[in-house]
């Protein structure tokens, strides 16, 4: 396969940003980031009042658009309703049976307003936290926007996490209200979300109400604190004036895993996040007004926040929301949807592509995929082989395929291959405007092209995390691990063209199907099983998921290894965290390799797993 692909003239000629413009604007954006973002913020969004200062950078704190007032829902909704997109479809939802429901910008605004008024009727005010544990339905977006409308801080929890993981997030964020649905469907099976919320909130006085979306008018018994979503929303006015938010007022908290301890609540604020997600959506996806756009992520993760909800709505796009698994009820479900809805821009994960590729060619070829123009991936490295399949078999060699590296913490795309630029398979691309990315050693010294090192960002960008909820210290770690710069926790290599290849995490974080899980988190989940004395987990490579967990378990005396125990341990992880974190492999061992001071040497386990030299063992105890 060639190691570089050039976009077709058709794509290049109509792109928002040409290659020359990228080079010029990128240089300009690094030379004077404040002037660059000032111009973008003014020309792209509507503000209630302007800012006095673009960036206030007092290491390690930073503020963007200081003193500016806006409401993200004004830019996502009212602006379109006041303009030409009033009756344009904002979302088309497709459920597992293929049943379609859609909503225009006008209808979405009214539904958001009703829901915002309903939240107020439950006592939710500016700054209060609302946790969502919802299926991928239009109402999930409505609730997120309703929170933003009144200045409440949403914290979306992916509706595949366990009751314990949900509880931890509700407790940490001190949510007043939790919103859920009676069920979601996955592979034809109804999953009882309300039951999970019930267990997660048992005895929690901080939670005042639980709002339940009762789907399809099913019979649903409501208990104390529980109220019916439709009932409380129906009686509200369809008018709700958006609360003027300060640029630096929090918009949401989203929990993600780190290398140590419990998940941290990443806090994003209003102004910078609005500007950055809007602008990256426009430029990176080259999104045009008549495009149909489909990002397959769930709003339970950052990709859904930035590139299902806020970015595309801010642009005024028509997006698909597709509930359920990619290959259920049939392996060509996604290709059929692309053909039926004439999707132009398709953004997904390498895991999904690997899964669908495995089903075979016969599921792709019958479908007319000629509407596609831009393909994108996110969440994990994509191998050249998988890149090539996606490019040739789905894009038919006509589309541009962009990789996008970013994180929950970064809020938006950081390293990308813009549609008008040459694409290098397996290499994430070049930094977005204003992003000064570099590859350095542990002391922070810049490495030469081709050398592997730590990926850092030298200065704050508008959608950078502002803090970790209730944990400023963990926030500061991002900017102090290598003093003065943001350390992403990834290993990377820069080539002589300035393209950056992401190798994988540099820390104890495992990436399963694009979802992060800390080794410490997985180990503590396994450790809650009564038969487990000690445990260490490592990542092993997995054909579909990219990585999977392999757990080494030392049993307490009196217990002996068995398949039943192995299954119990897996179930324990499912109930502590969620299915996605369940170890692929559990092996029982008599001891774990440790240093003399008692620290588990995971590198020894990793080296053994990959058949590499285990290295210097002089400090090992046993």
- Note the residues at the interface with ligand WT7 (CB under 6 A): 256, 302-303, 378-381, 403-408, 428, 488-490, 502, 505, 511, 514, 516
Nearer to ligand WT7, 324 or 518 (CB): 518
Residue 306 backbone class (left: φ over 0; alpha: ψ -120 to 50; beta: rest): alpha
User: Residue 474 CA to chain centroid, in angstroms?
Assistant: 20
Between the CA atoms of 581, 586, 589 and 595, what dihedral angle is there, to the nearest 10 degrees? -20
- Residue 490 CB, shortest distance to ligand WT7, in Å, is 5
- Residue 17 CB, shortest distance to ligand WT7, in Å, is 20
- Residue 378 CB, shortest distance to ligand WT7, in Å, is 5
Nearer to ligand WT7, 172 or 380 (CB): 380
CA distance 109 to 119: 15
Max Cα distance, the chain (Å): 72
Nearer to ligand WT7, 305 or 333 (CB): 305
- Residue 353 CB, shortest distance to ligand WT7, in Å, is 12
- Residue 138 CB, shortest distance to ligand WT7, in Å, is 22
- Residue 534 CB, shortest distance to ligand WT7, in Å, is 28
In a 13 Å sphere around the CA of 460, the CA atoms on its Cβ side amount to: 24
- The closest of 116, 403, 410 to 273, measured between CA atoms, is 410
- Residue 377 CB, shortest distance to ligand WT7, in Å, is 6
Nearer to ligand WT7, 104 or 407 (CB): 407
Reading the block at residue 256, the tokens are 């993600």
- Residue 445 CB, shortest distance to ligand WT7, in Å, is 22
Nearer to ligand WT7, 404 or 463 (CB): 404
Nearer to ligand WT7, 516 or 550 (CB): 516
Structure-token match 């997120």, residue found: 144
Say if strands 318-322 and 374-378 run parallel, antiparallel, or are unpaired.
unpaired
Nearer to ligand WT7, 198 or 434 (CB): 434
Reading the block at residue 231, the tokens are 């009932």
Concatenated DSSP letters for 66-100?
Answer: ET-EE-HHIIIIIHHHTTTTTTSEEEEEE-TT--E
Return phi, psi of residue 301, to 5°: -120, 170
- Residue 384 CB, shortest distance to ligand WT7, in Å, is 13
| Residue of minimal Cβ distance to ligand WT7 | 408
Nearer to ligand WT7, 68 or 546 (CB): 546
Percent helix / strand / coil, the chain, rounded to 5 = 35, 25, 40
CA distance 297 to 482: 32
Between the CA atoms of 243, 244, 250 and 255, what dihedral angle is there, to the nearest 10 degrees? 40
CA distance 226 to 181: 11
Nearer to ligand WT7, 85 or 506 (CB): 506
């Amino acid at each position: 396969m060639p190691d570089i692909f050039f976009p077709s003239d058709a794509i290049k000629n109509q792109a928002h940003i040409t290659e020359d413009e990228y080079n010029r604007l990128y240089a300009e954006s690094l030379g004077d980031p404040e002037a660059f973002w000032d111009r973008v913020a003014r020309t792209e969004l509507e503000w209630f009042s302007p800012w006095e200062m673009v960036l206030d950078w007092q290491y390690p704190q930073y503020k963007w658009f200081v003193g500016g007032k806006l409401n993200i829902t004004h830019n996502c909704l009212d602006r379109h309703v006041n303009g030409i997109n009033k009756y344009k479809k904002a979302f088309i939802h497709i459920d597992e049976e293929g049943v379609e429901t859609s909503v225009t910008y006008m209808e979405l605004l009214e539904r958001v307003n009703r829901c915002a008024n309903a939240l107020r009727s439950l006592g939710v005010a500016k700054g209060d936290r609302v946790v969502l544990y919802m299926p991928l339905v239009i109402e999930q977006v409505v609730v997120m926007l309703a929170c933003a409308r009144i200045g409440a801080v949403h914290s979306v929890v992916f509706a595949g996490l366990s009751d314990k993981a949900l509880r931890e997030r509700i407790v940490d964020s001190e949510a007043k209200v939790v919103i859920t649905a009676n069920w979601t469907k996955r592979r034809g099976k109804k999953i009882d979300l309300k039951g999970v919320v019930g267990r997660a909130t048992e005895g929690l006085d901080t939670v005042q109400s639980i709002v339940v979306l009762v789907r399809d008018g099913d019979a649903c018994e409501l208990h104390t604190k529980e109220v019916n979503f439709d009932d409380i929303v129906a009686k509200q006015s369809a008018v709700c004036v958006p609360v003027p938010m300060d640029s630096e007022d929090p918009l949401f908290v989203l929990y993600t895993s780190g290398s140590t301890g419990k998940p941290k609540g990443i806090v994003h604020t209003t102004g910078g996040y609005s500007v950055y997600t809007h602008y990256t959506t426009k430029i990176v996806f080259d999104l045009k007004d008549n495009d149909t756009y489909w990002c397959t992520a769930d709003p339970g993760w950052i990709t859904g926040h930035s590139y299902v909800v806020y970015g595309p709505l801010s642009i005024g796009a028509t997006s698909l929301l597709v509930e359920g698994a990619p290959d259920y009820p049939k392996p060509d479900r996604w290709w059929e949807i692309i053909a039926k809805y004439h999707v132009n821009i398709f953004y997904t994960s390498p895991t999904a592509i690997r899964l669908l590729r495995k089903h075979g060619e016969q599921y792709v070829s019958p479908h007319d995929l000629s509407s596609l123009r831009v393909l994108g991936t996110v969440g994990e490295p994509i191998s050249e082989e998988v890149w090539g399949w996606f490019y040739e078999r789905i894009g038919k060699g006509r589309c541009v395929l962009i990789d996008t590296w970013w994180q929950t913490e970064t809020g938006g795309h950081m390293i990308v291959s813009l549609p008008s630029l040459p694409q290098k398979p397996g290499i994430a691309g070049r930094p977005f405007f204003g992003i000064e990315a570099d590859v350095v050693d542990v002391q922070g010294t810049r490495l030469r092209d081709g050398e592997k090192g730590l990926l850092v960002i030298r200065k704050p960008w508008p959608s950078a995390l502002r803090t970790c909820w209730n944990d400023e210290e963990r926030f500061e770690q991002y900017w102090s691990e290598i003093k003065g710069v943001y350390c992403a926790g990834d290993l990377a290599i820069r080539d002589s063209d300035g393209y950056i290849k992401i190798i994988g995490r540099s820390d104890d974080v495992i990436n399963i199907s694009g979802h992060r899980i800390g080794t410490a988190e997985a180990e503590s989940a396994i450790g809650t099983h009564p038969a487990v004395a000690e445990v260490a987990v490592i990542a092993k490579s997995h054909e579909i998921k990219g990585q999977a967990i392999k757990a080494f378990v030392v049993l307490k005396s009196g217990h002996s290894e068995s398949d039943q125990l192995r299954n119990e341990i897996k179930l324990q992880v499912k109930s502590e965290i969620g299915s996605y974190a369940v170890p692929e492999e559990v092996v029982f061992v008599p001891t774990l390799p440790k240093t003399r001071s008692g620290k588990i040497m995971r590198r020894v386990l990793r080296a053994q797993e990959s058949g590499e030299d285990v290295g210097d063992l002089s400090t090992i105890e046993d």
